[in-house]
A and B are shown apart, each in its own frame.
Chain A
Amino acid sequence: MDFATFLVQCLNAVQYGLLLFLVASGLTLIFGIMGVINLAHGSFYMLGAYLAFALAPWFGDWFVTRLIVGVMLAALFGYVLEWVFFSFLYERDHLQQVLLTYALILVFEELRSLSFGNDVHGVTAPGWLTGGFQLGGLMEYPWYRVFASAACLVVALALYAVVNRTRLGMMIRAGASNRDMVRGLGVDIRRLYRIVFAGGVALAALAGMIAAPLSSVYPGMGSSVLIICFVVVVIGGIGSITGALIASLLVGFVDTFGKVFFAEWSGVGVYVLMAIVLVWRPEGLMKRGF
């Protein structure tokens, strides 16, 4: 492997890791704060990808506008979904949460099949992001991937700022460490839950929309992402945003370079990483804390 190839693989690993972070951060926040294990979180990623596909004819080259509209629609969807469905899960034990959200996946998959069919769809990158830049003479790295990494990075930084620097973030952190105390202090915990859930859905959908031109849009794309995100959350430590970021990047590198070096067995690498972390630190790399 020459240096240029190595560099390209590194960029791919970072880009994949950051994309995973967007999905996993929502998952870990929702679990950390509401105590709900949400198997349907992968479906929100799929929702984003199909939103990108469905909105594409309406916005043409207005790519960023399309992203913003999609994120707002997804957040609205999340807000309503929390209200009509997830708010009933808080009292239930984990087992029932698993089943109810598992059933939700079946429903989402079938609704997707009813509205878009089971074909694989392509979404094109906007005109101003086509092409790429030269890397080491022979390799060309597409601009769209650069954009994807940059967008994820901006969102990650914004998320960090919101959680650590705003009043809402303060309530989120407080809610994660002591729910009852926050409620006792007069915070409307139901609204807080609704906002966090909507935010998590919006993040996952944004990841799906950004990924759509890279990976195409296909049935079942949600569940593969979901399981990798579980691995990320286990490695990073539940409820920790920083942990999710570190773990996402680790998983991105292991997965990308696994595909380069051990093509046939590449699917296993990420899980071996998880096994190592479990032996070394069963509670994840970062204990709860942001």
Chain B
Amino acid sequence: MASDGAGNEASAEVGAGDVRAVVGALPDIGRHEAGGWLVPGAAALAIAALPLVLSPYAQDVVVRIAIYAIFALSLELLVGATGLVSLGHAAFLGIGAYVTVRASGDSGGSLALLLPLAMGGAAAYAVVVGALSLRTRGVYFIMVTLAFAQMAYFVVHDTKAGGGSDGIFLYVKPTLAIAGKTLLDLGERMPLYYTVLAALVATYAFIALLLGSRFGHALAGIRVNEQRMRAAGFSTTPYKLAAFVIAGALAGLAGLLLAVKDGAVNPELLSWHESGAVLLMVIFGGIGSLRGAVIGATCFTLLKELFQSEALLGSLASHWQLTLGLTIIAFVAALPRGLIGLGARLRVMRPGGLAKAGARPSR
């Protein structure tokens, strides 16, 4: 990533290990989770085998979950890794989706072209929003990101170029062809399934490697104590902006996949309900854990599916927001550290478990 290089220049005189020296021991994300790469790898293989046993409808749900997991992972890079709470992340998902549909036109597009366009479009807006909103911090940052997402919402909702409140259809799904031979047609079920899965694996691995790198350590340092990082000579804003732009680009990837899967886009993709929902996924799973983001996206999507199911809940299904809202309140009140934290909690509750589980991390 070009932005990574910019960060390196900004503080070339500070060596890789020095972040630790500056802010002390860092609770790394994704590195010291039980099982290392084993658990995510096994999970990916299991998902790859799922179409053997699942109905087409259930496969559809899995694809949606995987797309939202990419979206949640991209936000985790901001919220969990850098400590930036953005409430406008849906804007980047929506931009990725709208760019995909607009660039496909009536005759369909090539994935090789759409992918950089969708991610680049989202990243470009992230550069603008990031440069402005990173001038603020804390609760201001929350409000400013929300406001700029709303601006993007108004653009697609109100203007002809944006397609208006009904959205736009994607008539021909993208393909990937080399020398006239079609390698991948996302209009079919199986290629889409495995493309989404591959995108999820790639996103997960990319963020995990990023967080393990020097760049990731700098982000962790900023999250734990930005003041001290600055005092040690790190120019923190380029790092935060780089994280913001990378997160935006990855959300754009999720947007592309969502547009292809649904075959349509509408302004609700950019709405602040969507931004709130993805923040919830991150929290649901547990902040500070990549696995948590995936688990959170899974649980949230399944919960929504459950609360909207008329077969299970009858007339209550039409009021799913009520059940969802009450569940969120109960959940955040009872499990402030998310589902990942649940495991630690249970360990503590076991006899003699307190010493093993150790002190709670600083966040």
Which of A's residues lie within 8 Å of B, judged by CB? Answer: 31, 37, 39, 88, 92, 94-96, 98-100, 102-107, 109-111, 113-114, 223, 227, 230-231, 233-234, 238, 264-268, 271, 274-275, 278-279, 282-283
Contact check, A98 vs B142: say whether CB atoms are below 8 A apart. Answer: yes
Residues from chain A with Cβ under 8 Å of B157 in the complex: 267
Interface size class of B (residues with CB under 8 A): 35 or more
Contact check, B85 vs A96: say whether CB atoms are below 8 A apart. Answer: no
- When A and B form their complex, which 4 residue pairs have the shortest distance between CB atoms, in order from nearest? A267-B154, A106-B325, A110-B322, A103-B328
Q: In the assembled complex, how far is the CB of residue B266 from the closest CB belonging to chain A, in whole angstroms?
A: 15
Contact check, B336 vs A278: say whether CB atoms are below 8 A apart. Answer: no
Residues from chain A with Cβ under 8 Å of B85 in the complex: 94-95, 98
- Interface flags, B136-178, vs A, CB<8A=1, else 0: 1011101110111011001101111000000000000000000
Contact check, A100 vs B146: say whether CB atoms are below 8 A apart. Answer: no
Contact check, A227 vs B146: say whether CB atoms are below 8 A apart. Answer: yes
Contact check, B142 vs A37: say whether CB atoms are below 8 A apart. Answer: yes
Q: In the assembled complex, how far is the CB of residue A97 from the closest CB belonging to chain B, in whole angstroms?
A: 9
Residues from chain B with Cβ under 8 Å of A264 in the complex: 158-160
Residues from chain A with Cβ under 8 Å of B143 in the complex: 37, 230-231, 233-234
A104 to B326, CA, bound (A): 8
Contact of A96 among B142, B155, B332 (CB under 8 A): B332
The answer to whether B34 has its CB under 8 Å from any CB of chain A is: no
In the complex, the chain B residue whose C-beta lies closest to that of A267 is B154
Is chain A's interface secondary structure helix, strand, loop, or mixed overall? helix
12 A–B contacts, CB within 8 A, in A order: A94-B139, A94-B142, A103-B328, A103-B329, A106-B322, A107-B325, A110-B322, A227-B147, A230-B143, A234-B147, A268-B154, A271-B148
Contact check, A265 vs B272: say whether CB atoms are below 8 A apart. Answer: no
Contact check, B136 vs A92: say whether CB atoms are below 8 A apart. Answer: no
Known contacts being A95-B85, A98-B279, A103-B332, is A227 close to B321, with CB within 8 Å? no
Residues from chain B with Cβ under 8 Å of A266 in the complex: 158
The answer to whether B61 has its CB under 8 Å from any CB of chain A is: no
Q: In the assembled complex, how far is the CB of residue B90 from the closest CB belonging to chain A, in whole angstroms?
A: 13
Contact check, B325 vs A114: say whether CB atoms are below 8 A apart. Answer: no
The answer to whether B287 has its CB under 8 Å from any CB of chain A is: yes
Residues from chain B with Cβ under 8 Å of A114 in the complex: 319, 322
Contact check, B150 vs A103: say whether CB atoms are below 8 A apart. Answer: no
The answer to whether B341 has its CB under 8 Å from any CB of chain A is: no
